[in-house]
Amino acid sequence: MKRSISLLIFVLVLFGTSSSKPILGEESLESVFKRIKEEVDANSKAYTSLEKACASIGHRLTGSAHGKKAEEFAFKLFKEYGFRDVKYQGFQVEAWARDTVTLSVAPPKSDDFREIPVVSLALTPVEANIQGTIVDVGNGLDANFEEKKDLVKGKVVLANIGLLDAKEGTRNLHRSEKTALAIQYGAIGVIFVNTVKGQVLLTGTASVTGNLISIPAVCISLESGTEIRKWLGDQPGLLGMIEMHNVSQPIKARNVVATLKGDNRKYRQEKIIIGGHLDSWDLATGAIDNGIGSFSIIDIARTFKALGLTSKRTIEFVAFMGEEEGLLGSKAYIERAKRMGELDKIVYMVNLDMTNNVSGFNGGGRQEMMGLLKEIGDKIKSIDGDFKNQLANSAGLHSDHQSFLLEGIPASSPMGGLKKEVLDCYHANCDGFNLVNKKEMENTVKYTSMLLYGLANAPKIPAQKLDFYSTRDFFIKQNLRRELELGNEWRWGND
């Protein structure tokens, strides 16, 4: 009985004593959530805005003319939806663009090279022309490289981008981390094998730092990889030759930031960031990665304005550029916050990267958040039975939230899912608007809007900013140290 009373008191303190009474100086949370549901169901523009962007802009590669158009498109939408405080946050990056690439293989001591369909990974050298024996390192994990450490130096390694025939529970590495391992062990080139059927070629950065790497890295299809492995079995010593030409030059890119200032004198200095990357790779329009995330954020902002919602805390809606080339936009955002003395004002970051059909919330490895997230989820489910109210609590890397986590700022992403046939087009030439599901995208807008309102008006954000060494302990506990080391982001020495 005491436990039930305690829980009731917690709920009453957190969300108010009655749905008919004001909460935190505003209408009841339940009433706000109902209004959000009605507004998004009736008037969401996320799907149509993304459709228009895909048709009129195409890809959104950072530093390209397309990328500039995307920045302007997002800025204009924020303005149309009623935001007065919309700004570009410019930063300079080394912009990479592909030109030409060929991959050829031949038996040893033969000039009879056979050309294989291939695509360059990003931030590979401007000029490369290498030839070497192909060494298969399987899934390209630490153990795979260590097993063949005496064979890799001076060779071209063949590695899976995903995991094939791995033990259950095996943790994969990012392609850039596998490239870093290849360089560390002395390889002169990397041939990545996509793990998706259907002759799908995948791109993405091969750099852990955002700078050009020293060796060429390319991707071939699963079918081509299977064929090369068969040849290796029949003819050990198979040669691989990679020739590539790319373009790299300093350019300026811009994050787009729309601000909803907090209306509570006590809390308005606290800031919640909801962000996702606007940029995409250039093989397709990037509708899924990350059109569904960035355009959902813009529509969440529209929803707040359409309903006249206020917030105790300041909210910044951010469309980051440069994520695909090494989290460049979010890193620039953090550096600016440090220069302006505003970093400590950021109390939480919500990241939408390929987030789809939101079904629950993730605590991002911070157990302190779970009670608040469950209460918000319970309230959502009470007014919308379609919401599944799933909960998880784990942290990951390789998206813009990483830049915030490294500063000890709590960050997470709403939970959702994409069908396999959609995920198969990740970073590939099939990532087009035809993959977008209107209802699922609107669910992301609807439930994330409710989450954001709940966070922005809660009496307290339970997870506080971690200090330098507590941040180190957090990453160790989340089993992320090795990934950060490979990405040159581990800041704590060998302790």
Q: Span 176-200, mean pLDDT?
A: 97
The pair of three-digit structure tokens given for residue 275, joined into one six-digit string? 């962000």
CA distance 189 to 240: 9
Quick one: 340 and 473 in the same domain? yes
Neighbouring residues of 249: CB distance < 8 A, sequence distance ≥ 6: 94, 95
Quick one: 284 and 186 in the same domain? no
Quick one: 240 and 350 in the same domain? no
Q: Span 263-275, mean pLDDT?
A: 96
Quick one: 288 and 221 in the same domain? no
Q: Count helices and strands (H / E) in the chain.
A: 16, 15
In a domain, 5, yes or no: no
In a domain, 375, yes or no: yes
The pair of three-digit structure tokens given for residue 387, joined into one six-digit string? 């919401």
Contact 277, 321 (CB under 8 A): yes
Largest CA distance in the chain: 83
**b/e burial code for range 99-113 (CB count within 10 A of at least 16 → b):** eebbbbbbbeeeeeb
Backbone angles phi, psi at 360, to 5 degrees: 175, -170
Quick one: 297 and 442 in the same domain? yes
- The structural domain count of the chain equals 2
High-pLDDT (> 90) share of the chain, %: 88
CA distance 473 to 492: 10
Quick one: 327 and 476 in the same domain? yes
Contact 463, 362 (CB under 8 A): no
Neighbouring residues of 107: CB distance < 8 A, sequence distance ≥ 6: 231, 235, 237, 238, 239
Q: What is the pLDDT of residue 11?
A: 37
Give just the sign of the alpha carbon dihedral 196, 364, 303, 316: negative
Using pLDDT thresholds of 50, 70 and 90, give the confidence band for residue 342. Answer: very high
Q: What is the pLDDT of residue 210?
A: 81
Which tens digit of pLDDT belongs to each residue from 348-395? 999 999 999 999 999 999 999 999 999 999 999 999 999 999 999 999
Alpha helical stretches, state H, 249-288? none
Quick one: 399 and 342 in the same domain? yes
Q: What is the pLDDT of residue 15?
A: 40
Using pLDDT thresholds of 50, 70 and 90, give the confidence band for residue 26. Answer: very low
Q: Which of 241, 191, 198 is nearest to 217 (CA)?
A: 191
CA distance 26 to 449: 16
Q: For position 243, which CATH number holds? A: 3.50.30.30
Q: Is the peptide bond before 139 cis (omega within 30 degrees of 0)?
A: no
What angle do helix axes 292-307 and 29-43 make, rounded to 10 degrees?
120
In a domain, 6, yes or no: no
Final residue before a domain boundary, out of 247, 272, 306: 247
Final residue before a domain boundary, out of 189, 221, 247: 247
Quick one: 102 and 79 in the same domain? no
Using pLDDT thresholds of 50, 70 and 90, give the confidence band for residue 211. Answer: confident
Final residue before a domain boundary, out of 190, 212, 247: 247
Quick one: 156 and 181 in the same domain? yes
Using pLDDT thresholds of 50, 70 and 90, give the confidence band for residue 19. Answer: very low
Quick one: 309 and 235 in the same domain? no
Q: Structural domain of residue 344, as residue ranges?
A: 22-85+261-486
In a domain, 329, yes or no: yes
Q: Span 24-33, mean pLDDT?
A: 76
DSSP code of residue 467: -
Task: Measure CA of the first residue to CA of the last residue in the chain; give whole Å.
Answer: 47
Q: For position 452, which CATH number holds? A: 3.40.630.10
Q: What is the pLDDT of residue 326?
A: 87
CA distance 42 to 444: 15
In a domain, 30, yes or no: yes
User: For the whole model, what pTM was predicted?
Assistant: 0.89
Backbone angles phi, psi at 401, to 5 degrees: -65, -25
In a domain, 11, yes or no: no
Q: What is the pLDDT of residue 8?
A: 36
Whether the pLDDT of residue 122 is over 90: the answer is yes
Quick one: 271 and 334 in the same domain? yes
Tokens 């290796």, residue located:
232
In a domain, 90, yes or no: no
Please count the other Cβ atoms lying within 10 Å of the Cβ belonging to residue 73: 20
Quick one: 290 and 206 in the same domain? no
In a domain, 444, yes or no: yes
β-strands 346-351, 114-116 pairing: unpaired
- Write out 435-448 in H/E/C secondary structure: HCCHHHHHHHHHHH
Whether the pLDDT of residue 407 is over 80: the answer is yes
**What is the CA angle 286-419-392, rounded to 5?**
100
Which tens digit of pLDDT belongs to each residue from 59-106? 999 989 999 999 999 999 999 999 999 999 999 977 788 999 999 999
Strands (E), 202-296: 217-220, 239-260, 271-277
